[in-house]
Amino acid sequence: MKKIDWYILKKFLITFIFCLLLFSVIAVAIDSSEKSDDFVKAKFNTWQIINEYYLGFVPYIWSLLFPLFVFIAVIFFTSRMASRSEIIAILASGTSYNRFLRSYLVGGILLSVVLFLGSRYWIPRANVIRSNFQTNHVDNNDPTKYRVFGNCSRCFYLRTDTNTFVGIRDFDTSTKSSRGFFLERIKDNKMVYNVRAEIIRWDTAYDKWQLINATERDIDSMGERMRHHDTFFIALNLNPNELHRDNYLKDKLTTPELIKLIKQEEIRGTEGLNTYKVERYRRTATPASVLLLTMIGVAIASRRTRGGSGMHLAVGIIIASLYILSDRFSTVFATKGDFSPLLAAWLPNIVFAGVAYWLYRRTPK
């Protein structure tokens, strides 16, 4: 790293931080105007608003728009360098274009690593703050938020291990009890054991489930044997905290926790896991897009044009819009259809890697 590399890297990072702070202020201003009624209803003072919401909201916005902040920063300061003929002077001094890109690569890799670590560990912790406020003070005041048509929103049908299936009806998270329960154990595609109970509740003293008015059935080649119990304890690979539908769960889990959840729910036969899988792969694909958009930005802005920074920014906004659009399309196809979650997360990067290479080949060197 020579003096010119530090010069470019310094401009890169300072412009990025400026964009980060500027757009954060704009996002907070817009969001606070929309949620002012919710803050009043929650009876929050200024410190509570900051501590119990915006400490989670601001990192969420950063993670959402981080690649675009990098893209805009690269275009902005590189375009200014081009308009002042600094890039022409660098190349005229005998520095190759590939050597000129070194500081951009270093800055892009540095910011990619920051986003990679943040999206895996730090940002999910901040999302807990944001999602708690959203659930308790926004979603609970919306009567249509948790409306379910044709299904019981508090009913669960799960596979607790490879051959055991349980069903729970109208589970109450406050009392940790349900008014209906059944368990079926399958072997060689035949039911060998069955339990049904009128009430099931979690017993904290034993860390087990207590069944009330339960009936057990053992089925084998000799026939069916039935036993009735007024009270019956059963150990399940299931705890009460898992019997809760959390719309923000994927945002709140660190990546190791998310991977563990996906594996556990796959064993249980849970449907709709593509949403979690896309989130898992996106936490790797999005940091990679930071480096990709850095290269696209410098390829666009390093050429001096009559339009100056305005023309570069216009082209950059168009490319950024196309990137976001392709990302949304692939996500919808993965979560609502049979599109591969891994491909959905990486498809925008694959497509725009070709765009980056094409722009690099066409850039005057």
In angstroms and rounded to an integer, the radius of gyration of the C-alpha atoms of the chain is: 27
363 versus 279: the higher-pLDDT residue is: 279
Residue-averaged pLDDT of the chain: 84
- Crossing angle of the two packed helices 308-336 and 274-301, in degrees rounded to 10: 160
CA 100 distance to own-chain centroid: 35
Q: Where are the domains of the chain?
A: 3-141+271-362, 156-244
Residues sharing a CB contact under 8 Å with residue 12, sequence separation 6 or more, in sequence order: 73, 74, 77, 103, 104, 107
Looking from the CA of 330 toward its CB, the CA atoms found within 13 Å total 24
Question: What confidence tens digit (pLDDT) does each residue in 238-278 have?
Answer: 888 777 777 788 888 899 999 998 888 887 777 778 888 98
Cα–Cα distance, 225 to 246 (Å, whole number): 40
Other C-beta atoms within 10 Å of 85: how many? Answer: 11
Secondary structure class of 244 (helix, strand, coil): coil
How much is the average pLDDT of 158-187? Answer: 85
Say what percent of the chain tops pLDDT 90.
21
Torsion of CA 363, 110, 117, 115, to 10 degrees: -40
Question: What confidence tens digit (pLDDT) does each residue in 7-34 have?
Answer: 889 999 999 999 899 989 999 999 988 8
Torsional class of 270: left (φ above 0), alpha (ψ -120 to 50), beta (otherwise): beta
Check pLDDT > 70 for residue 323: yes
Predicted TM-score of the model (pTM) = 0.79
pLDDT at 255: 92
First to last CA, the chain: 21
